[in-house]
Amino acid sequence: MSLTITICSTKGGVGKTTVTANLGAYLADRGCRVLMVDADIQPTLSSFFPVTEPAEAGLTQLITTGETEATVTPVDHVPQDARGSLDLVMSNDPEGQLQNWILHTPDGRVRLKTILEAYEDLYDIILIDTQGAVGPLQDASVLAADLLLSPIPPEILSAREFARGTVSMLERLRPMAAMGAPVGSLYGLLYRVDRTADGRSIADELRREAYAPSRGKIMILDTTVPATVAYREAATHQVPVHRWEPRRDGPTESGAETMRRLAAELLPHLDIPAEVDHG
């Protein structure tokens, strides 16, 4: 049984791809069989880590033909656990034709969900990275998820706006449950929290949800992701942040500690150990 997590937001540049890639690599190092799906027309996730032999096909073929085998690219990855693995379905639709295809195909929006069922026994976790804009491909990715993860900026006004935007996107898709695609639970992750932003009070404020429309519809995680250069540096070197920054001095959490906390909070069933593995 695999669990599908879609990383989404209704706006761009919030950290979706960074979180997808780093969480994916972290889980693979912890022994999970992980598949990442790049469902963004701009193929940022597809080149986040080195790949030696890209599969001949990618997301377009996966969705339009249901072809599963020829669409998976192994990510150049040295797992610390013999069982862990990291694979990728690359984005290969620069013209954005897939969006049209999904729009004009009767079961277009629920197809990805159905197709991913073929991977059930091959992967423990499937992570789908999406584009930060509303569209048929984002709908399809959201509907394929068991669980949704949305990075939120650590500033109360935009945090609220983000939470609202994402919640209303989900509300719009909720009727699709009738087609066998119930919308999964939504988790908000305060992202790029710097020392001046009080992540905890923003989280509390969002949890109290003074604004009615999204009351109780988004769960704000206790884990927050700090704003540090480690994420950018790790990305530049095409290395997962937990390996780039296994430990760190000072009050800010290391990349490894943040990924461990995120994985443990989001996926309690994986029994991630409390301590950071500095290996």
DSSP the chain: --EEEEE--SSSSSSHHHHHHHHHHHHHHTT-EEEEEEE-SS-TGGGTS--SS--S--HHHHHHH---GGGEEE-----SSTT-EEEEEPP--TT-HHHHHHHHSTTHHHHHHHHHGGGTTT-SEEEEEE-SS-SHHHHHHHHT-SEEEEEE-SSHHHHHHHHHHHHHHHHHHGGGGGGT-PPPEEEEEEEEE-SSS-HHHHHHHHHHT-SGGGTTTEEEPS--EE--HHHHHHHHTT--HHHH-S---SSSPPHHHHHHHHHHHH-GGG---SS----
* Residues of span 230-249 touching Mg ion by CB under 5 A: none
36 sits near ligand ATP (criterion: CB under 6 A): no
168 sits near Mg ion (criterion: CB under 5 A): no
* Residues of span 158-187 touching ligand ATP by CB under 6 A: none
Which residue has the closest beta carbon to Mg ion? Answer: 17
CB of 210 to ligand ATP, least distance (A): 26
Q: Given the complex with ligand ATP, which of 124 and 257 has the nearer CB atom? A: 257
Q: Given the complex with Mg ion, which of 16 and 261 has the nearer CB atom? A: 16
CB of 131 to Mg ion, least distance (A): 7
* Residues of span 214-233 touching ligand ATP by CB under 6 A: 225, 227-228, 231-232
Among 8, 14, 32, 126, binds ligand ATP (CB under 6 A): 14
Q: Answer whether 112's CB lies under 8 Å from 66's CB.
A: no
Partner from Mg ion, ligand ATP, none contacting 228, C-beta within 5 to 8 A by type:
ligand ATP
CB of 111 to ligand ATP, least distance (A): 22
Q: Given the complex with ligand ATP, which of 181 and 225 has the nearer CB atom? A: 225
* Residues of span 39-68 touching Mg ion by CB under 5 A: 44
Q: Distance of CA 88 to CAs 47, 109, 127, 144, Å?
A: 10, 21, 9, 16
Burial of 124 (0-12, 13-18, 19+ CB in 10 A): buried
C-alpha to C-alpha distance for 24 and 259, rounded to whole angstroms? 10
* Residues of span 44-103 touching ligand ATP by CB under 6 A: 44
CB of 17 to ligand ATP, least distance (A): 3
Q: Given the complex with ligand ATP, which of 114 and 158 has the nearer CB atom? A: 158
235 sits near ligand ATP (criterion: CB under 6 A): yes
Q: Given the complex with Mg ion, which of 92 and 214 has the nearer CB atom? A: 92
- Return the range that interacts with Mg ion (CB under 5 A); candidates 14-22, 61-69, 148-156, 260-268: 14-22
20 sits near Mg ion (criterion: CB under 5 A): no
C-alpha to C-alpha distance for 151 and 8, rounded to whole angstroms? 8
CB of 214 to Mg ion, least distance (A): 23
Binding site for Mg ion (CB under 5 A): 16-17, 44
**Binding footprint of ligand ATP on the chain (CB under 6 A):** 12-18, 40, 44, 131-132, 192, 225, 227-228, 231-232, 235
